[in-house]
């Protein structure tokens, strides 16, 4: 509002159909410019405080942005750096996480990292678990697996062992290629 108000006040002498003295025109222009610059300064200060200024800067390859979500719901936007294959580090938080899922926001690559979570979040899995909780009252994926296997009369350990045996039989074929 201050920016628009300042621009309107600065433009008043040019929009009036009557002649104004040069001193009055200059004072309107000066006051409007100061008001607009104060508004832009406030916007810039708030953007730096929340990290939103990082969204304005051009994206750099290998430096994705973290949307770090605190437990109380506060979100900070932080710079990170690709340390190695599938690992990202953030100097401000002094943390290293495996990179799970990539999202794009304009030309920036972004990651959603909740506090206390040791990896970036895949939002499709989050939405899926919320739907399971809402419709079936599951508390998590492990709870859902237990209840589903109980309905199917199967043991999850047997299934994981069968999967392990199947993957062991496939890997030698893949290695020979």
Flag the least confident range among 6-15, 48-57, 163-172: 163-172
| CA 107 – CA 55 distance, rounded (Å) | 9
Model pTM score: 0.54
| CA 98 – CA 120 distance, rounded (Å) | 7
Q: How confident is the model at residue 42 (pLDDT cuts 50, 70, 90)?
A: very high
Give the CA angle between residues 44, 45, 47 to the nearest 5°.
Answer: 65
Q: HEC string of 80-139?
A: CEEEECCEEEECCCCEEEECCCCEEECCEEEEEEECCCCCCCCHHHHHHHHHHHHHHCCC
Q: Express the helix, strand and coil content of the chain in percent, nearest 5 each.
A: 55, 20, 30
Tens of pLDDT, residue by residue over 109-147, are: 888 888 877 667 777 777 777 777 777 777 767 777 777
Region 30-40 average pLDDT: 93
* Tokens linked to 44: 């810039």
Q: Are strands 108-114 and 65-69 parallel, antiparallel or unpaired?
A: parallel
């Amino acid at each position: 509002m201050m920016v628009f108000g300042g621009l309107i006040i600065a433009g008043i002498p040019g929009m009036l159909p009557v002649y104004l003295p040069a001193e009055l025109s200059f004072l309107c222009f000066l006051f409007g410019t100061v008001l607009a610059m104060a508004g832009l300064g406030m916007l810039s200060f708030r953007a730096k405080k929340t990290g939103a200024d990082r969204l304005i800067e051009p994206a750099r390859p290998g430096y994705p942005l973290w949307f770090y979500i605190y437990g109380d719901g506060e979100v900070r936007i932080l710079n990170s750096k690709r340390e190695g294959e599938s690992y990202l580090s953030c100097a401000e938080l002094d943390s290293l996480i495996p990179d799970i899922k990539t999202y794009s926001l304009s030309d920036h690559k972004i990651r959603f990292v909740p506090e206390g979570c040791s990896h970036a979040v895949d939002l499709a899995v989050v939405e899926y678990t919320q739907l399971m909780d809402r419709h079936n009252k599951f508390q998590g994926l492990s709870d859902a697996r237990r209840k589903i296997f109980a309905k199917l009369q199967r043991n999850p350990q047997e299934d994981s062992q069968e999967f392990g045996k199947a993957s062991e039989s496939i890997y030698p074929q893949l290695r020979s290629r």
